[in-house]
Amino acid sequence: MYNEENVIQRFFDTVRPILDDIGLPYEIVCVNDGSRDATLLALTGIARKDPRVRVVDLTRNFGKEAALTAGLDLARGAAVIPIDADLQEPPELLPEMVAHWQDGFDVVLARRAERSSDTMFKRGSARMFYRLLRMMSDVEIPENVGDFRLMDREVVNALHRLPERTRFMKGIFAWLGFRQTTIDFVRPARQEGSGKFGFRKLFQLAMEGIISFSTVPLRMWSYVGFMVAAAALLFMLYILIDTLLFGRDTPGFATLATVLLFFNGLIMINLGIIGEYLARIFTEVKARPIYLVREQIQFETANAEDHKP
């Protein structure tokens, strides 16, 4: 949760009756990702009345992927379901997820059947991103599947063995494998507040996904280099033969400048891609923790009037 004070009460009023009806013991782990509003105060008030609610307060805003990692690290259940607080991931799917898990599936994916609640730009860019990632990556990342999924404890334990600091969780989830099934849903519009992912963050996440799960951007420059060298050799032969046979004036400055600028641009793009990979190597070598927890809040007892056993 990040600055979600306006939706917290509605989230709990929606989720807790559904979890109660499932009939299995549960806990709700709330990760406060450095909120600047009254999110932590509201969560503490709810946890005071319900011992099944555990609040994890991070020392600052580490970002969605780090906060998700914190929740998965600290959850103790036999199955774990990450879910955002904005209710765009319908809690009504939770009983069906649990039923599939009880039938023997290790992972139950929730896939958006359609994305009419998103803008046309977001739908188009997401479609293009998934197609590009499928072309470049060896890992099959399911389209229109977010972090909302059920994972068996064995899957979560396997996730703990992956040590990378720079994380693209959708790719990591897909890399794990295990026995999976999928259920479809229609994503509703956000009830309160506004989304926290603008174009810049979405672009960074897309870059993270491509670089984390593909080496094609690095390898492709070998092919580009061979093609450019072959084209340059053919052009050199053409100029040599044309000059020897027919004579030729020295090419103009504009032609030379255009060629130089074009190849310098290719070199800079190549260096930029190498720099992206080096930056991630630098991050991994430093081995800093993915997140830091300031405090965990959980009350052992609750008022009888506020919590049914």
Task: Please tell me whether residues 223 and 178 are part of one structural domain.
Answer: no
pLDDT recorded at residue 100: 92
Residue 204 within any structural domain of the chain: no
- Structural domain count of the chain: 2
Task: Please tell me whether residues 169 and 221 are part of one structural domain.
Answer: no
Task: Please tell me whether residues 161 and 224 are part of one structural domain.
Answer: no
Task: Please tell me whether residues 230 and 145 are part of one structural domain.
Answer: no
- 305 phi, psi to nearest 5 deg: -75, -15
- 72 phi, psi to nearest 5 deg: -70, -35
Q: Is 136 within 8 Å of 128 (Cβ atoms)?
A: no
Residue-level pLDDT, tens digit, the chain, 309 residues: 888 888 888 889 899 999 998 889 999 999 998 888 888 888 988 888 888 999 999 998 888 888 888 999 899 989 999 998 888 888 888 999 999 998 889 989 888 877 665 666 666 666 776 677 666 666 777 777 888 889 999 989 988 888 887 777 887 888 888 888 888 888 776 555 555 555 566 666 666 666 666 666 666 666 777 777 777 777 767 766 766 776 655 556 556 666 776 777 777 777 777 777 777 777 777 778 888 888 888 777 655 344 443
Q: Is 106 within 8 Å of 180 (Cβ atoms)?
A: yes
Task: Please tell me whether residues 63 and 160 are part of one structural domain.
Answer: yes
Q: Pinpoint the alpha helices (H) of the chain.
A: 8-22, 39-49, 64-74, 94-102, 120-136, 153-160, 169-176, 199-212, 216-246, 253-286
Spatial strand order of the sheet with 53-58 comes to 28-32, 53-58, 293-297
Alpha-carbon span 62 to 59, nearest angstrom: 8
Residue 199 within any structural domain of the chain: no
Task: Please tell me whether residues 171 and 220 are part of one structural domain.
Answer: no
Residue linked to tokens 């040599």: 240
Task: Please tell me whether residues 150 and 227 are part of one structural domain.
Answer: no
Alpha-carbon span 121 to 191, nearest angstrom: 21
Residue 211 within any structural domain of the chain: no
Task: Please tell me whether residues 293 and 269 are part of one structural domain.
Answer: no
Residue 200 within any structural domain of the chain: no
Q: What range defines the domain where residue 247 resides? A: 216-286
Residue 109 within any structural domain of the chain: yes
Task: Please tell me whether residues 180 and 135 are part of one structural domain.
Answer: yes
Task: Please tell me whether residues 128 and 166 are part of one structural domain.
Answer: yes
Task: Please tell me whether residues 173 and 40 are part of one structural domain.
Answer: yes
- DSSP summary character for residue 188: P
pLDDT recorded at residue 80: 93
Residue 96's Cβ-count burial label (10 Å; 0-12, 13-18, 19+) is middle
Residue 220 within any structural domain of the chain: yes
pLDDT recorded at residue 305: 41
Residue 205 within any structural domain of the chain: no
Task: Please tell me whether residues 160 and 64 are part of one structural domain.
Answer: yes
- Residue 181, domain CATH: 3.90.550.10
Residue 1 within any structural domain of the chain: no
